[in-house]
Amino acid sequence: MGSAYTPGLTVSGDIIVRRTRRLPIKGDVVVQVGADVEPSTVVARALLPGVLQTVKLADKFGVEPKDAVTFVIVKPGDPVEKGQIVAQGKKMFGLFAAPTAASEHTGTVESISEVTGSMLIREPSIPVEITAYLKGKIIEVLPNEGAIVETRGAMVQGIFGVGGERTGIVTLKAHSPDHILKADEIHESDSGKILVCGAGFTYDALEKAGRLGVIGLIAGGVRDADLSQYLGYEIGVAITGTENIPLSILVTEGFGYLNMAQRTFELLQSLEGKTASLNGATQIRAGVIRPELVVTVSDAKGDAPVQQSGAELTVGTSIRMIREPYFGDLGTVTALPAQLVVLESGTEVRVLKAKLLDGAEVTVPRANVEIMTTGK
């Protein structure tokens, strides 16, 4: 009972990464197994049905529903433009102009109801495309859904992030893991780049980076107040990645200004100048998703490990705390007691003992840590 499995963060210079690229609805896959793809390569596309809009004819003409439909001058299947007359009444006493009803939307007439006296107009379909995200090879096609992309290279996972998928050039701005990036260190030439910041970045640096077209920021930590101010709202850590911001952020250690782990910093140093795929999406609950940076290495030789969703927790395992009061702290497992421990809440849990980098010995629930997975 001394072993357990827990999600881990990968920090590796040589690893095989596979990502499933799936459409939200059924569609067409446009790649084949074995095809080489770039991050921007479209692997599948579909058409989302347009929104249904209602033209309330009975209300517009002030008549009964069954009478309103007799005024319609279009039929189901007809295309209509915004402002186009779709129904026309009769002249009153031969003196007044005939009343009309116009469509408030562009689309296609889907139905006309005598029961409601309304016309339904379907707006144009919305095209959806899924790209490969990674530079690599298609290893499996999912019919009508998407494909699985595989690449080999370096990978850094973070503890938290925001922003969606982006591609840019890794650029080192930090001279050490404790560097804090300031606004005057960011220039117009950094547009399209992913900046490695060290321990963090100021709010002014964050704002300027987004304004100048920086693709992403990678740092040991981020201040809650800065992130909330930039987003315009308080953000939770349950799920992220859909924020309407011009760049993605990957945090490797936790909240606040926190020195980036030395091995993570050194790996990012070695990747400077290379094109990387960055995704800030984070999901802490079931189906864990970690923010990540992936750099394809085309000239790698020999065998590389395949990224695993979990790893074995044993004495000597490097871990990171993912909940307070030690959130973001790194350490090493020193013991895995088999007996259950009762928390203040009354819950019985398994715990572990660990030695933190500052030398402190702590006992925490095993669910409060994640494994630091390292590779070559």
22-31, 180-189, 230-239, 357-366: range with lowest mean pLDDT: 230-239
Phi and psi of 88, rounded to 5°?
-140, 125
**Maximal CA-CA distance, the chain:** 95
pLDDT band at residue 3 under the 50/70/90 scheme? very low
Q: Pick the more confident residue, 89 or 105.
A: 105
Query: How many Cα atoms are found within 13 Å in the side-chain-facing hemisphere of 41?
Result: 21
CA 365, 367, 369 angle in degrees (round to 5)?
Answer: 90
**Angle at the Cα of 234 (from 184 to 196), degrees rounded to 5?**
35
Task: Categorize the per-residue pLDDT at 134 as very low, low, confident or very high, splitting at 50, 70 and 90.
Answer: very high
Least confident of 4-18, 24-38, 109-123, 315-329: 4-18
3-state secondary structure (DSSP) of residue 17? strand
**The pLDDT of residue 228:** 93
Q: Taking residues 189-211, what's their average pLDDT?
A: 97
pLDDT the model gives residue 320? 79
Instruction: Kindly tell me if the per-residue pLDDT of 309 is higher than 60.
Output: no
Q: So what's the pLDDT on residue 307?
A: 61
What pLDDT does 143 receive? 95
Structure confidence at residue 1 (pLDDT): 26
Question: In 10 A of CB 113, how many CB atoms?
Answer: 16
Answer whether residue 334 shows pLDDT above 80: yes
**pLDDT one-digit tens code per residue, 205-240:** 999 999 999 999 999 999 999 999 999 988 765 688
Share of the chain above pLDDT 70, in %: 89
Name which of 328, 358, 356, 331 is nearest 224 in CA terms.
328
- pLDDT given at position 148: 96
pTM of the predicted structure, to 2 decimals: 0.74
Q: What mean pLDDT value characterizes the chain?
A: 88
Q: What are the angstrom distances between the C-alpha of 55 and each of 66, 134, 177, 353?
A: 15, 45, 61, 66
Give me the pLDDT at residue 6, please. 41
Long-range contacts of 91-99 (CB under 8 A, 24+ apart): 99/60, 99/61
Please indicate whether residue 184 or residue 255 has the higher confidence score (pLDDT).
Answer: 184
